[in-house]
Chain A
């Protein structure tokens, strides 16, 4: 039967257009954000995490350097929330779709799966924003850390760069979880090392030389630097660009491998639980 004999259903528009893509991304982001805010367990973690992060940062640096180091660690601790939210959830996101029985339906839809997956991980990253703000508030008012806030506009841009690039890193992780059902635990495994390697609590300059290139290819490294620069009145431009560029690179790599990952999952039969 030729294509002309079986046209696309009249009610549908061209699913490959950029307007359609933008709508899929926006609606996916909004709905997944809505779902995450409705989880009481995640809500509990969101209350707990900022207290934990800011307490760790405060007591680590209060006894030692204090002053600037405390400010440095407070911003780092704030971004820890965004990374933790993304790394732990991105790992389980695909598994959750499997449990829901929605993964197959999403893959069966005539839209590129990257457009389905990316809003999920960016929404996870955006949820971490709450943790970030709360961590900064706890640092300021519970521990009395005098946090600078010199360039609000650039601070906002740095924040967006951080959230988007961390979401993109989550996307790259989630792509591998589509194929391997048990890989979700990897997300949890990556949570703590990135706190360290990304320079959240200690400057990457004091890490061994061989570790530093790893830091440079991690978007969170540049995101947290951009936030610190913007807050302290520095020039966060290069860090913001680096975060966006790395985020774009993660998405490009994810899209490039996604088709072959999906094909492999369809061949191996790992899309459903059975």
Chain B
């Protein structure tokens, strides 16, 4: 069966300028050869840090950006040549406060987009009521959006994206900035989309979200896919290694770089924690780098030192911080 979404060696470069008087033209490569396929009914995750190229990739797939090179197909049609055909069959939801008319009610917002998406006028009201109930906004639909919480806005976004009952749905960081309870409700709603047979592409930078929801995940870093597989596959990549966490009070980049040279170390990341930082060092199977780490951190104020088994999040951190950009997925 052919894939519902196909990205074939997608590239996207942005041109920008710097300087006020001496303007210089710059080229920024946001996406550098991304390829993947999503099968019908699959929930596929694009996981990566900010600036990895997730949103640019999604915007090419939903016809908003033309790829610099490469090709993308949705339901077998080219997103550049058959943009109108594709638009009738896709839904797009992004996270954050924007994307709604603040001075209008939720009902007015939904009515307007229902019209734009060609929802049959005889069925518009019933469809809107159905979606309001689904996202838990029934009874609040006549209030202006400007009074809505972030979570309510996000649920309204999802209702808007589903108005025309599209078979393929693109969700770009839908839980960003939503409180934990609201995010959990949103994840339940996304899970229901998959249960309803929709094909979903979800971008997120929350590892646990991708782990909970996605059938398959592609990890994106610096515009390339650096790993692809089921959450179980990704965990397996690091499950035999070891993670050493060292609490430090003020550490220079030079000292962090020194740790990277230790034999068997696969990644080094620094996380801020109140007054201190935690240096997270991952090492491959068969290596015990603790002694070497402490040796190279001489002169740095140290706190607690712990060792543990790697988690899925460690796998993700290792992939997006250490993977050389040449390794394409």
Contact = CB atoms under 8 A, between A and B. Distances in A.
A47 to B, nearest CB: 19
B: contact size bracket: 35 or more
Given A11-B123, A31-B112, A267-B66, A109 B100 contact: no
A106 B116 contact: yes
Interface string B105-121: 00010011101111111
Interface stretch (A2-10, A85-93, A173-181, A244-252): A2-10
B117 A12 contact: yes
A2 B2 CA distance: 10
Contacts of A263: 66
Interface centre among B2, B76, B88, B97 (most CB of A within 10 A): B88
Nearest to B87: A110
Contacts of B84: 110
A217 interface: no
B14 A111 contact: no
Contacts of B96: 101
B99 A100 contact: yes
A62 interface: no
B99 A12 contact: no
B120 A35 contact: no
Contacts of A35: 101, 103-104
B63 interface: yes
B121 A23 contact: yes
Nearest to A107: B64
A163 interface: no
Interface string A23-65: 1100110010011001100000000000000000000000000
Given A266-B64, A266-B65, A11 B165 contact: yes
A266 B89 contact: no
Given A15-B88, A39-B103, A24 B119 contact: no
Nearest to A6: B75
Given A11-B164, A271-B64, A110 B118 contact: yes
B92 A105 contact: yes
Contacts of A116: 116
B53 interface: no
Interface in A253-274: 263, 266-269, 271-272, 274
18 contacts: A1-B2, A1-B76, A5-B76, A8-B88, A9-B89, A9-B164, A9-B165, A11-B119, A15-B118, A100-B100, A102-B99, A102-B101, A105-B99, A108-B63, A109-B87, A109-B117, A111-B117, A271-B64
